[in-house]
Structures are given as structure tokens and as C-alpha cells.
Amino acid sequence: MVRQRVLVSFGARQFSRIAPPHPQVIRVTKNVAKLGSPKEGPKPRQLLSLPPFPGFPLPGKKSVNTSHVTAISWVKYYFDEIPDSVIQSHFNKSLVQIECPSSSDSVEKEGLAKPMRKIKPSDVMEVGARIHIPVSVAETAISKRFDTIPSGTLYPNADEIEYLQRLVKYKDSALLVLNKPPKVPVKGNMPVHNSMDALAAAALSYGHDEGPKLVHRLDRESSGLLLMGRTKESVAHLQWLFSYINKAQSKCQAWNDACEATYQRYWALVIGSPKDKEGLVCTRLSKVLLDDGKTERVVLAQHSSLEPSQEAVTEYRVLGPTINGCSWIELRPLTSRKHQLRVHCAEALGTPIVGDYKYGWFVHQRWKQMPQVDIEQSSGKPYKLRWPEGVDIQKGSVLSKVPLLHLHCRELVLPNLAKFLNVLDGKLENVHPALSTRPDLLRFVASMPSHMKISWKLMSSYLV
């Protein structure tokens, strides 16, 4: 009788066809079997967008016999500071994608994700093609201790000289390129002795009678590639080049073409995201004094204002999705104005740079107090933060209480001045035969400082 009741109870049990039970699997951990749900598949990856392929030949790349560029060569060229093995592994895992050429403008206007397909490392790049790759490709090792900034002295000691010389990425007879760390002033007044120009004059002369001179400036809080001239002639030519970008008037056509190819690219982390994924900001900037009469501030010039102003032009491009209320963007200044990128991000785009309290104080206050909920485009689910192991987020990263400025001059392309210097000075009519084999353009890529590396790693640690 009892057996019949049991059979009846099992026979009456029915499952719904609309909502079937979730499949269960048995997992054994430390000799203990447990019933649980199956292992989830791979999570959607944060994708980084590369700029459109500019075509062959690539600026600053050594010429080769082939007349085309493969996909892996283009990615290695853009991420010059990343080991080739890391890029190769992303191709081996089929993580590199390219936008399909059939994607129409209507898809972009509606804000939908563009269709993409996987790309092989040997595929030939076409002009305008855009590659997307996981942001993990740009993750680099983070030093557990920060390098100490040289002390405020006119005569740095041996350790400080060695530290400064490690910052040098390139030097020749005409110029010197440094990877400037944050929180080091570029130009110092009398009370400031640990500025880059004073330290370079004391430690980076390399046998010259005088140390290198500044050609352009970076803000004290920013980091990245800093160019210095080693002779009076080279300083004059480089300063002219940065004052009139892409405008060259010389009898040497190769020099004119190299000047037209000159550019700088910055990476910045901004609060929010621009409305358009890429565009051009063209405004006029003017300088005003605040109420104390000492503090100077750069603002967007008003059309009716009588204050003198200068034209400022910046190209921008969004690198990836919005994470924790912030977005990574790439900036390319076409003019050289004081605080140009910071003002354009804060006032023209409405997305101040993280750590820029001068032009984005009120936005920082609201951003730190607001809970951030970001949605993954492919699944529609919210992002969740996975805390990276072994990383101290309090060292100026985006999650620290007081983040440092996230503005870094990452890439620099400029003419090979040492090759053309004698021609520009009128000493020779043509380039010396011994220098003719040298490239017309030089290209440099600098890795980000530690606090920006931490923020980048936090961005790639978000999972759905």
C-alpha cells in the first residue's frame, strides 16, 4: 500500500514546458560532492578600438619590401610598447576582431553595436579598416613601489642621475626624448629646482657643453613623451615645428612631407563619455585671472568678449565602453595651447579628465557620490567589479579617494631632424649621403605611469 502511494505521488509530478528545471551537475571539491549549476561560459570582454588604418607606409616604421601591412603588423605597430608575444597570443585565441565593411551609417546613428568578424594575423589591412581587441592586450606590469622623484637640488646625486637617464627613450645629435613621470614640473622658477629642464641640464648633457632645452611643455601632473633639443639650431627648428604644426615651408620636399606627418596622441580617462564616439573640437581659448589676481585659468572664449584669444583644435576618439562612470579616450591636438586638452575635455565635451580638479572640481564631487551602474552592450546585464589581486588602488588610481591626473602623452611622430639639419641651415643643398638611409620620420610610444596602469587594469577587470 505504501509502495502504491509512492508511485502515485511520483506519477502526479509534472514539469512545466515553459520553464523547465535548470540542469544540475555534480562537482567534487576536497572529496566532497556537491550538486550545482553548470559552469558558465566565457564572459564578454572589454574591447579597445584602434584608430582607422591610415594606409601604407606607416609613419616612423622602417620600410620593407612588401607593399601591404598585415593585421598583426598593424596591431604591433600601434602597441609598440607591448611585447609581441602578448599580441600574438590574442590572435592565437581568436580574440581580435574587425568591423565588417557592410556596416552602414544607420547602425552608427541608432547607437547599435557594429557587426564584427574575427580576423587572422595574416589578413591584409585596408585603408579605413578598424580593429577591436580586448583591453587586456595593453595590461603591463605594475611596479609595487614608485620611483622617487629627484630631490630639490641643483646638483642631483648618482642615483638621481641614473633615474633620469632611465627616462630617456631616444637621443641623437639633435634631440632627446624622455618619458616624463607625473608630479614633476617641466619648467621651474627660482624656488623650484627639481624641474625637468634644470635636472636635464645637470644630468643629461651627454658630453655637450650645455644640457638639452625644452621644446614643448607638459603640465606638472601629466606624464608622457617630452621632447628636448640638444643644440640651439635644433631647438629653434623644433619650437617652430610645434608652433606651426603641419605647416612647413622649405626647399626640401622630404622635410615638408615629414612636417605634415607630425602628430601627438594622448590617452586620457574622463568622467562620463562624449556624445559622439569621435569628432573634432575647434574653439578659441582665452586666459583670465581669478578673484585673487594671481591664479590664471584658461576658458572658452566668448564671441562677444574683448579678451585676446587663440584658436585651439583637438581630434578625439573614444577607445572603449564606459566603466565605473568613466571612459578612455584618445586625443590628438592640432594646435599647442596651454591646458588645451583639459579645457576641451571639461568644457567643450563635458567630460573632465579624472584627477583634473582645476577644470572639473564640481563634476568630481558629483561623480564620487553617485552609484555607477554600467550595462554591457552585448548582454544587457550590469557590469560587476572583480578586484585585481596584488594591486594597491589607493596610489592615485580611479578608485582612490583623490585620483591623480589621468592624462598621458603616449605617442609622438616627428621629422628626423638630425637628417635634415644641415639642409635647413643652408650648409648643404641635399641630405648627406651617409644620412640618406635614415628614416624621414621618428616615432615613439611611452608606457603609462603606474596610477594609469592600475586604472586600466581595473577597467579590464569588470565582468558581467
The backbone torsions φ and ψ at residue 205, rounded to the nearest 5 degrees and listed phi first, read: -80, -30
Grid cell for residue 215: 621644446
ω into 134 cis (within 30 of 0):
no
DSSP code of 138? G
Grid cell for residue 445: 610610444
* 238-242 long-range contacts, CB within 8 A, separation 24+: 238/175, 238/414, 238/417, 239/215, 241/414, 241/415, 242/215, 242/216, 242/336
Element (H, E) at 177: strand 175-180
Q: Which residues are catalytic?
A: 219
Candidates 269, 277, 373, 265; CA nearest to 318 is: 277
Residues in CB range of 66: below 8 A, 6 or more apart? none
Report in angstroms the alpha-carbon separations of 329 from 121, 272, 278, 279, 455. Answer: 26, 11, 9, 11, 13
The backbone torsions φ and ψ at residue 358, rounded to the nearest 5 degrees and listed phi first, read: -70, -40
